[in-house]
Amino acid sequence: MNIGRRYYACRACGRTYSPWDDWAGVGAIQVTEHARRLIVTVSTVWSFDNASAKLDDLCSMKVSDDTIERVCQDEGERARQWLRGPQKPGGADALAQRFVAAPGEAEFYSDGLKVNTTGGWREMRLNLLQKRERAAAVTPDQWKDRVLPEASVRLASCAIADSRLTGAMWKQWSRRMGLEDSTQLSVLADGAPWIWEQASLRLSPHAQWCVDIYHVSEHLHDCAKAMFGEGTAAQAWAEQRLEELIREAGPRFIAQLDLRIQSCADDNQVAAMQCLRTYLQGNRDRMWYAQRLAEGKAIGSGAIEGACKKIGTRLKLNSARWRTRRAERFGALLCLEYTDQMPAYWQSPAA
């Protein structure tokens, strides 16, 4: 459909104006609001060239992949600003209000994913804050079979930044969501030292820390393979040690591991257990698994692992290479999509 419209230009100052564009919500890229929504929605699933073909197939919308990328970059920057909160002091923060009102207790996760940029592979740090109601209490031997409730609300952000800047983002989030002194906040992550260092500096001093049980399990299995090689013996040893760790918690398990090391005569096995001990010692106060299971709380970081997989897969489609800022802008849209915050974003004045 071709639509004629008036176009005005001032000879004195050079400014231009089209009343119809303002009425229709057409910006500098000349795409209406509804079309922007369609473009962004499709682009979070398919690469820009495939998104162009899908839009043509699904709704006879002919848009080039270059225009699709420009729209996503424009909306991505707006989404980043929206996720950061009100730009004016004292402005309404609908995102924070929605989070505070949601039922459940807060859980914070952080992890990294690799992004191919024009400057080489870089780590994009992904942060996830959610609320979830407690599950039914279970015993240590039931942890694999329990099902946690779905999160009542989720927020996510991403940035290609160092640990200091990433931690500053956490502090801002904590302040906005009223979690600065929360005793109900749980911090769940793998054993990466930078995460725990920044958590101690930026998040509530009363937060409960928990190192992901699946990462601990990987270290136990690696130790078992180094001691016994591949096979059922290694599998049985690792599973038994994991059950003991969940039941007895970090400090007591490490003490028992020390006794095993002292009584072992095999140098290779001693070296494997000492390597395991080094990892566990750095996380000794983050492995109170039996207590968390009895309280119906999470002991794994599957939420952030799933987010990294989904967002990372989209960023790597067609072997894409991103400029750092563009990857962050598009990542903001992927964060909104993953956390189901896209409808709230479109309803906000930022969109």
> Has residue 77 been placed in a domain?
yes
For the chain, percent helix, then strand, then coil, each to nearest 5?
Answer: 55, 15, 30
Same domain, 192 and 263: no
Same domain, 24 and 48: yes
Same domain, 203 and 306: yes
CB neighbours of residue 8 within 10 Å: 9
Token digits of residue 69: 């990328």
What pLDDT sits at residue 6? 72
Same domain, 158 and 306: yes
Q: What is the 3-state secondary structure (H, E, C) of 43-107?
A: HCCCCHHHHHHHHHHHHCCCCCHHHHHHHHHHHHHHHHHHHHCCCCCCCCCHHHHHHHHCCCEEE
- Helix (H) or strand (E) holding 118, with range, is none
Same domain, 194 and 254: no
What's the total number of domains in the chain? 3
User: Could you give the CA distance from residue 33 to residue 339 in angstroms, rounded to a whole number?
Assistant: 22
What pLDDT sits at residue 240? 94
Which residue ranges in the chain fall short of pLDDT 50? none
> Has residue 115 been placed in a domain?
yes
Please write the tens of the pLDDT for every residue from 82-92: 998 875 666 67
Beta bridge partners of 105: 132
Same domain, 126 and 205: yes
What pLDDT sits at residue 156? 96
What pLDDT sits at residue 18? 67
Same domain, 193 and 126: yes
> Has residue 294 been placed in a domain?
no
What pLDDT sits at residue 27? 55
What pLDDT sits at residue 15? 78
Same domain, 121 and 179: yes
What pLDDT sits at residue 33? 85
This prediction's pTM: 0.87
Per the CB < 8 A criterion, the answer to whether 70 and 150 are in contact is no
Same domain, 194 and 312: yes
Same domain, 134 and 279: no
User: Could you give the CA distance from residue 109 to residue 141 in angstroms, rounded to a whole number?
Assistant: 25
> Has residue 3 been placed in a domain?
no
What pLDDT sits at residue 220? 95
The range of the structural domain enclosing residue 80 comes to: 8-84
> Has residue 293 been placed in a domain?
no
E-only strand ranges, the chain: 8-9, 16-17, 105-117, 120-132, 153-159, 186-189, 208-211
Same domain, 100 and 186: yes
Those residues with Cβ within 8 angstroms of residue 230's Cβ, 6 or more apart along the chain or in another chain: none
> Has residue 268 been placed in a domain?
yes
Cα dihedral across residues 200, 202, 208, 214: positive or negative: negative
Structural domain ending residue among the three candidates 40, 61, 84: 84
Structural domain ending residue among the three candidates 84, 114, 134: 84
Please write the tens of the pLDDT for every residue from 140-165: 989 989 999 999 999 999 999 999 99
> Has residue 292 been placed in a domain?
no
Same domain, 221 and 206: no
> Has residue 317 been placed in a domain?
yes
